[in-house]
Amino acid sequence: MSPTVRLQEMIRVIRSARTQGEERGVIQKECATIRAQFRQADNGGRSHNLAKLLYVHMLGYPAHFGQMECVRLIASPRYNEKRVGYLGAMMLLDENQDASLLITNSIKNDLSHSSPYVQSLALCTLACMGSSEMCRDLAPEIDRLLRNSSSYIKKKATLCAVHMVRKVPELGELFTPAARSLLAEKNHGVLHGAVILITELCERNTQTLVQFREVVPELVHIMRGLVTSGYSPEHTVAGISDPFLQVATNTDSSKTAGSAVLYETVLTVMDIKSESGLRVLAVNILGRFLLNNDRNIRYISMTSLQKIVITDHNAVQRHRGTIVDCLKDQDASLSLALVSSINIRSMMKELLLFLSTCPPELKSHAASGIFNAAESIALCSAGGDVRDETVPNLIQLITSASQLHCYTVHKLYRALVGDISQ
């Protein structure tokens, strides 16, 4: 019987258990068999036993006795056994287990294996659970692969290098020269990885950043190429100034993918110290997002605007109207928070109207938002008038919503304590 059928048979048996207790019984029996088989010599069924154990592990049962079996299978010359062994390693071993160090040597050998699929297994596992020591040990191997291998392996090696740099930042120096030359690759997968690697390198080391500044025109060129030839939405390329204008104005945001690119552009513009023109453009894009039918896009634009309003107050003001309209949306808790941060005075009326018509769960959010705003305004002199107008209205509304009572009293008390002259 082929091993997959036996695994599937076990899965079927487990699924047909009617109670948790029955399931536990079945699994305990299976685990006992698997354990016994692990102890035996090579009996031809090793890979499917481990697969069974992995299934059981996913259901939440302990499986640590399989760790050594993973190590053994990884060292096997047979691809199918290696595959399960590596999968097991990714699921059962992490850097905190002693057994993980034992696979370092196997990984090292497999990185130079003649079959790219074996190399890929090793790379993937290393990128998934490689500890700092493993990374330090194997970094030269990865560097070698970055310079000299097929695109298939290069793209994986690049991401493995990214993992290594995240784990052991000093390795960044080792990878910098190779990273530079990777930008010349045509393969999208490799380019994508290369950009991520370069971003990581620059983030950790300002000197590297200076080095890579000269690379920017190259990146811009690549990006232009992507934009004009029809882009693939998963590309997130870092660049400065001009290309963003191009992408931002030419990208069709009617599909989510286009919006994702636009959003990324906005994020980047905000992150780097761009000139005010670009920032206004970014805010306008976010404003457009607010009108989008897709709820997700409205959500992210609101979260971003919240962050931006601190620095670019005026630009966000322009979109006040749209933000208020969003209050009518069902999932309005965010827009409330946003509204409270920007000029409240003129919007008090609308806010109060909202408070009286919104569903009860949101009332507390709304009330707290309005209170926060009122408190912040109360600090400036003219704010006193606002308080006087709105307080009676608020009180009226709140008396009609009993859940708010104790909350309101609490808040009022705090306000009074902080502002005794009133």
Q: Which residues contribute to the site for other proteins (CB under 8 A)?
A: 2-3, 8, 11, 15, 44, 51, 54-55, 58-60, 78-80, 83-84, 87, 90-91, 94-96, 115, 117, 120, 123-124, 127-129, 131, 152, 155-156, 159-160, 162-163, 166, 188-189, 192-193, 196, 232-236, 256-257, 259-260, 263-264, 267, 295-300, 330-331
Residue 236 beta carbon to other proteins: minimum distance, rounded to whole angstroms: 7
Residue 120 beta carbon to other proteins: minimum distance, rounded to whole angstroms: 8
* Helices (runs of H) and strands (runs of E) counted in the chain: 25, 0
Residue 12 beta carbon to other proteins: minimum distance, rounded to whole angstroms: 8
Residue 126 beta carbon to other proteins: minimum distance, rounded to whole angstroms: 9
Q: Work out the angle between the directed axes of helices 404-418 and 383-399 (0-180°, nearest 10).
A: 160
Q: Greatest CA separation found in the chain?
A: 87
d(CA 396, CA 401) in angstroms, rounded, equals: 9
Encoding tokens for residue 234?
A: 């998963």
d(CA 177, CA 143) in angstroms, rounded, equals: 9
Residue 33 beta carbon to other proteins: minimum distance, rounded to whole angstroms: 19
Q: Which is nearer to other proteins, 142 or 366 (CB)?
A: 142
Q: Which is nearer to other proteins, 156 or 363 (CB)?
A: 156
Residue 309 in contact with residue 342, Cβ under 8 Å? yes
Q: Which is nearer to other proteins, 63 or 398 (CB)?
A: 63
Residues 26, 28, 32, 35, CA torsion sign: positive
Residue 333 in contact with residue 304, Cβ under 8 Å? no
Q: Which is nearer to other proteins, 48 or 363 (CB)?
A: 48
Residue 396 beta carbon to other proteins: minimum distance, rounded to whole angstroms: 30
Q: Which is nearer to other proteins, 186 or 380 (CB)?
A: 186
Q: Which is nearer to other proteins, 187 or 393 (CB)?
A: 187
Give the contacts of 192 (CB within 8 A, at least 6 positions apart): 155, 234, 235, 236
Residue 193 beta carbon to other proteins: minimum distance, rounded to whole angstroms: 7
| Interior angle at CA 68, CA 62 and CA 72, nearest 5 | 135
Q: Which is nearer to other proteins, 8 or 241 (CB)?
A: 8
Look up residue 274 and give its DSSP letter: -
